[in-house]
């Protein structure tokens, strides 16, 4: 790899720049602000700043990572993809369904490598959970309970949370899009999810103009019930999934990176990599995307899969109950 461009200067952009240097010490990493500003001083692990999409196309890098706010993804990615330059889009695919559809069509027409950064699929316990579900270790699945929450001011302690993408509706903020990893992995594990009902709330605790609480009821095509709770308010971060089936129960803790099985008379630890470095999932996602560019076998998240996440989110928003 000779060069790559990262659009955006947020925390995930910084991680990608660092990881690119870790994987390819000689790579030249270019940065571009999503707002067009020139950062001073030059961000860590960034060799040079570009100021426009035209500059990126003229450079013709090996690939581009679009880590700007979701509301800018269509604007930033479309011309790059149409120029035949591979693009890894950070999640979510877009802020709305129309933009997501446009990006899907763009990717299909260009035939260049395009993928979406739902990195939780690369968590080592996620890979194990996919194996367990595909092997039907629980038999018929009856219920799925997903819980994800973390106090938003703790996400980026060096920044006022009210200025973050997460807190701003115009940038694609709110728990549904910011925590859409969990909707993505639910559809990856259990297949298409059908909307039943939802309650979306703005608690006023954080004084946001987006939903900071979401409670969602869904069903699978095999009639399992899936309940998802998301919030920006839990003071002690949690991310877990409990699956109940005819042969027992699986408790999956995505923060501790563990899976436990509870059967008729026994409890068993099926997976425990609590010391696993979670930066590995970002590294593995980059490595996998480069395999996609090289037309090698890969597990990169397809734009069509990410489109389905946005489609479900819009269903949840448009047909749910809002409490403010």
pLDDT at residue 171, rounded to an integer: 82
Report whether pLDDT(30) > 80: yes
Tell me how many domains the chain contains.
2
pLDDT at residue 76, rounded to an integer: 95
Same domain? 137 vs 182: yes
Handedness of CA 88, 90, 91, 95 (dihedral sign): negative
Kindly report each contact of residues 246-255 with a partner whose C-beta sits within 8 Å and lies 24 or more positions away, as own/partner.
Answer: 246/138, 246/139, 246/140, 246/142, 247/137, 247/138, 247/139, 248/138, 249/138, 250/129, 250/132, 250/137, 250/138, 252/125, 252/129, 253/125, 254/120, 254/123, 254/125, 254/126
Q: pLDDT, tens digit, for every residue of 218-241? A: 999 999 999 999 999 999 999 999
Q: What is the mean pLDDT of the chain?
A: 95
pLDDT at residue 139, rounded to an integer: 97
Domain limits at 173?
A: 120-276+308-323
pLDDT at residue 170, rounded to an integer: 79
Report whether pLDDT(156) > 90: no
Report whether pLDDT(207) > 80: yes
Q: pLDDT, tens digit, for every residue of 273-305? A: 999 999 999 999 999 999 999 999 999 999 999
Q: Please compute the mean of the pLDDT values over residues 120-130 and round it to a whole number.
A: 98
Same domain? 96 vs 207: no
Same domain? 169 vs 263: yes
Report whether pLDDT(133) > 90: yes
Same domain? 157 vs 259: yes
Same domain? 115 vs 238: no
pLDDT at residue 115, rounded to an integer: 98
């Amino acid at each position: 790899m000779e060069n790559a461009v990262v659009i955006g200067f947020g925390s995930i952009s910084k991680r990608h720049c660092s990881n690119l240097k870790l994987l390819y010490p000689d790579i030249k990493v270019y940065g571009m602000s999503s707002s067009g500003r020139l950062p001073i001083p030059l961000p860590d692990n960034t060799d040079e700043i570009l100021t426009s999409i035209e500059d990126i196309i003229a450079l013709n890098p090996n690939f581009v990572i679009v880590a700007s706010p979701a509301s800018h993804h269509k604007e930033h990615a479309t011309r790059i993809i149409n120029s035949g330059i591979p693009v890894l889009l950070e999640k979510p695919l877009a802020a709305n369904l129309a933009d997501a559809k446009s990006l899907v069509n763009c990717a299909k027409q260009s035939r260049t490598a395009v993928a979406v950064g739902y990195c939780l699929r690369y968590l080592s316990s996620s890979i194990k959970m996919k194996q367990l579900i595909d092997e039907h270790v629980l038999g018929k699945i009856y219920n799925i309970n997903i819980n994800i929450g973390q106090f938003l001011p703790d996400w980026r302690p060096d920044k006022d949370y009210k200025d973050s993408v997460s807190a701003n509706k115009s940038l694609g903020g709110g728990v549904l899009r910011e925590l859409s990893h969990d909707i993505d992995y639910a559809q990856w594990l259990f297949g298409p999810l059908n909307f039943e009902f939802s309650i979306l709330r703005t608690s006023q605790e954080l004084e946001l103009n987006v939903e900071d609480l979401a409670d969602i009821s869904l069903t699978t095509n095999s009639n399992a019930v899936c309940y998802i709770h998301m919030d920006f308010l839990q003071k002690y971060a949690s991310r877990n999934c409990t699956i109940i089936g005819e042969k027992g129960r699986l408790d999956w803790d995505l923060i501790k990176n563990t899976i436990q099985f509870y059967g008729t008379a026994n409890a068993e630890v099926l997976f425990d990599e609590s010391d696993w470095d979670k930066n590995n999932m970002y590294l593995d996602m980059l490595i996998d995307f480069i395999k996609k560019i090289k037309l090698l076998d890969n597990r990169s998240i397809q734009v069509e899969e990410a489109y389905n996440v946005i489609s479900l989110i819009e269903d949840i928003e448009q047909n749910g109950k809002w409490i403010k």
